[in-house]
Amino acid sequence: MPFSTDRASYQRGSIGFPAVKLPGRIGRKRAVVEAGARRKAGDAAAAIELLAPVLMADEENAAANVEMARALHVLGDLEGAEEHYRRALRVELDYKLVVELAGVVGSAGRIKEAEELLGAALQMTEAVEGLDPGEALLVSATLAAGQGKNDAARKILDEIDAGVSGPDVRKFAQRLRERLS
């Protein structure tokens, strides 16, 4: 008899592999939240371990794809991060995700494509009230600085200063400005 019906055999898997319990919907949400906390605490590898079963159960889970992208970005896997940002964006178009994707694409050296994404993000801020254009401008300034275009970066930072960006964007803009001096 090739397949056993007893519980122990079932738990091991019918072909000798241990059974993998995929998380349910509530378990997936908890895993994504925990993965984000682990990534923020500096353990991106643990975040990936938490997210893998979630994405096996639902590869289109936007929140899990975003957290996976962020964890992979922290670990330097730009190609993997880009893939997961794009998966998330296929499910849910989100300004911040477009900006984060632009940062990853720019870090991979594809500056023109990153600038196009940032342009699209800035258009979103014109169409949707409440979006902070400073987030896209900050990534744009960072890309300019990374290319040695410090004067261009300063001009972009001036736009942030003249705008209505939130305190976090202003804080990061000030840090970048200090590094350019």
Please spell the DSSP secondary structure of 34-97, one letter per residue. HHHHHHHTT-HHHHHHHHHHHHHH-TT-HHHHHHHHHHHHHTT-HHHHHHHHHHHHHH---HHH
Structure confidence at residue 18 (pLDDT): 52
Structure confidence at residue 75 (pLDDT): 97
Mean pLDDT by runs of 10 across the 181 residues of the chain is: 41 45 70 96 97 94 97 98 98 96 97 97 95 96 96 97 93 96 83
* Structure token pair of residue 147: 């290319």
User: What is the location of CATH 1.25.40.10 in the chain?
Assistant: 19-92
Find out whether 99 and 121 touch, Cβ atoms under 8 Å. yes
Residue type, 3: F
Q: Could you identify the residue written with the tokens 């014109």? A: 126
Structure confidence at residue 14 (pLDDT): 42
Closest to 82 measured CA to CA, from 90, 73, 74, 91: 73
The structure's pTM equals: 0.82
* CATH class, range 94-181: mainly alpha
Structure confidence at residue 7 (pLDDT): 44
* CATH class, range 19-92: mainly alpha
In angstroms, the Cα distances linking 57 to 29, 69, 107, 150 are 12, 17, 30, 45
Q: In degrees to the nearest 10, what's the CA dihedral of 96, 102, 103, 104?
A: 110
